[in-house]
C-alpha cells in the first residue's frame, strides 16, 4: 500500500547556517535540511559575497518536514531555543546582516503561526526579539562544502566550540524530538 506523504518547507536564519543545519538534521519528522542564502538583492550569491555583507542575503536553512510528525510551531520553538533572537545582526562572534535572525514564511498560515510564537517568545527573553518575519523570497542553495558541515567536520574549531554546544542544548531540551 502506497503512502501519500506531503512535506512542507520552513526557511529560517539564525546565525551561521552550520548551527541550524546540525540541529534540524536530528529532528524527528524533518526529511531534509539544506544550507543556503535568502533575503538579498543579488541572484545566485556565493559564500564570499554573502560573507562580505553586500548582497543583503542571510545564511539560512531550508527545512523540509512531514507535518504529520512535526508541525511548524514545534520547528519555531526549536529555532527560538537554539539561537538568540534578541541580538540584531549577530550571533556570538558572527556579526553582520548575513547572520540576522529571520523567518521567511511560505504561507499565510506559517506567518500567523510565526507571529503567535514570536509573541509568546517575547515573554521568555529578557530583551526585545529582533527576528525579522518576511514572505519567502528566492532561495539559493549554498555551495556543496557547506552541506552537512558539522557531521563532516565535528572537530573543526568552530564546530567544536560553537555548533556542538547548540546541538547539545537541543538534545537536552528536545530529547523527545530526536530521530
**Residue 1: pLDDT over 50:** no
Q: What is the mean pLDDT of the chain?
A: 95
Q: What percent of the chain has pLDDT over 90?
A: 93
Choice among 16, 19, 51, 95 that is catalytic: 16
pLDDT band at 76 (very low <50, low <70, confident <90, very high): very high
**Residue 145: pLDDT over 70:** yes
Q: How far apart are CA 90 and CA 123, in angstroms?
A: 21
Contacts of residue 162, Cβ cutoff 8 Å, sequence gap at least 6 = 16, 19, 92
95 carries an active-site annotation: no
Q: What percent of the chain has pLDDT over 70?
A: 97
pLDDT band at 42 (very low <50, low <70, confident <90, very high): confident
pLDDT band at 5 (very low <50, low <70, confident <90, very high): low
| Of the candidates 6, 29, 5, 13, the residue with the CA atom closest to the CA atom of residue 105 | 13
The cell for 92 is 556570538
Amino acid at each position: 500500500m502506497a503512502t501519500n506523504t506531503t512535506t512542507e518547507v520552513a526557511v529560517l536564519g539564525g546565525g551561521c547556517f552550520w548551527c541550524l543545519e546540525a540541529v534540524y538534521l536530528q529532528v524527528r519528522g524533518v526529511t531534509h535540511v539544506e544550507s543556503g542564502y535568502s533575503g538579498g538583492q543579488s541572484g545566485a550569491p556565493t559564500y564570499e559575497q554573502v560573507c562580505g555583507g553586500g548582497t543583503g542575503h542571510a545564511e539560512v536553512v531550508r527545512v523540509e518536514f512531514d507535518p504529520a510528525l512535526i508541525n511548524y510551531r514545534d520547528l519555531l520553538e526549536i529555532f527560538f531555543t537554539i539561537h538568540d533572537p534578541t541580538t540584531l545582526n549577530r550571533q556570538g562572534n558572527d556579526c553582520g546582516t548575513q547572520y540576522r535572525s529571520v523567518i521567511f514564511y511560505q504561507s499565510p498560515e506559517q506567518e500567523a503561526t510565526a507571529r503567535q510564537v514570536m509573541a509568546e517568545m517575547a515573554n521568555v527573553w529578557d530583551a526585545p526579539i529582533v527576528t525579522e518575519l518576511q514572505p519567502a523570497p528566492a532561495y539559493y542553495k549554498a555551495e556543496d562544502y557547506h552541506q552537512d558541515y558539522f557531521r563532516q567536520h565535528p572537530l573543526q574549531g568552530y564546530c567544536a566550540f560553537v555548533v556542538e554546544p547548540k546541538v547539545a542544548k537541543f538534545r537536552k531540551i528536545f530529547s523527545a524530538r530526536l530521530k
